[in-house]
Amino acid sequence: MDQELSVEENSEQTIRRQLSTYEIGPKIRKLRMKKKIALVDLGSHTGLSASMLSQLENGKMVPTLGTLARIAMVFDVSLDHFFGLTTRKLITIDRAGSRMRFPDRGDKPNPSYFFECLAFASQSKTMQAYIAEFPHQPDAQSDPHIHDGSELIYIIQGELLLQMEANEYHLKTGDNAFFDSSTPHSYRGMDPDGTKAIVVTNPPRAI
């Protein structure tokens, strides 16, 4: 049974967990064992200590690209070797405290919305899903944006004004909208207590 996290992850722990998907440590060990090279010998070739290499192999340390490049040169493999997925996981779990919150644009003093990526650790996703929070900005002028494909937005809490070109749509708790996201669109939070929604985007289908 999956053990619940007792404390929220910090950013370093989240990065470490994401990188663990690629199983970089076991890949280093497999290359070393295949070549029958001891940790001390690998250390002499790379300029890294045997202790550090052991920590890398056991997942206790996150390698830098420079470190991986040194190891890759010894075994005559590319960096891509370490970032290919050996197995596809049928399920990934992202705990509430592991997500990071971002504004729509980092250079805006009053962002139109904040978002958290859902299922960010999953590979080869066919969709992108987010939790979005919209501050109360009934009179603000939000910036329209576009992206290829389609979008679904479902209002969990509050009220949202969705503007598409010259049309405005008021969405309340429980409402949802599905639309062509290549059309310029923008959002404005209309609830004094804030608005929260689930947003799912899908790339266009290949013809």
CATH number at residue 56: 1.10.260.40
Q: Residue 133's domain spans which residues?
A: 96-202
- Which residue, of 30, 51, 83, is where some domain finishes? 83
* 108 and 196 inside one domain: yes
Token pair 């992206």 in the structure block, residue? 147
Q: What is the CATH number of the domain that holds 133?
A: 2.60.120.10
In a domain, residue 193? The reply is yes
- Average pLDDT of 39-55? 91
Q: In this structure, what token pair is assigned to residue 157?
A: 């809490």
In a domain, residue 140? The reply is yes
The per-residue pLDDT for range 151-175, each reduced to its tens digit, is 999 999 999 999 998 899 999 999 9
Percent of the chain having pLDDT more than 90? 40
- Which residue, of 83, 114, 129, is where some domain finishes? 83
pTM: 0.62
Is residue 74 within 8 Å of residue 45, measured between CB atoms? yes
Looking at the chain, list the stretches that DSSP marks H as alpha helix, in order from N- to C-terminal side: 11-20, 24-35, 39-46, 50-57, 65-75, 80-83
Give the model's pLDDT for residue 5: 39
Average pLDDT over all residues of the chain: 84
In a domain, residue 125? The reply is yes
Give the model's pLDDT for residue 7: 41
Residue 25 CB contacts under 8 Å (≥ 6 apart), including other chains: 56, 57, 58, 59
* 110 and 136 inside one domain: yes
DSSP assigned state of 137? -
The per-residue pLDDT for range 68-110, each reduced to its tens digit, is 999 998 888 888 888 876 555 667 777 787 788 888 877 778 8
Give the model's pLDDT for residue 85: 63
Domain count, the chain: 2
* 171 strand-pairing partners: 160
Distance CA 101, CA 113 (A): 10
Q: Are β-strands 159-164 and 150-157 bridged in parallel, bridged antiparallel, or unpaired?
A: unpaired
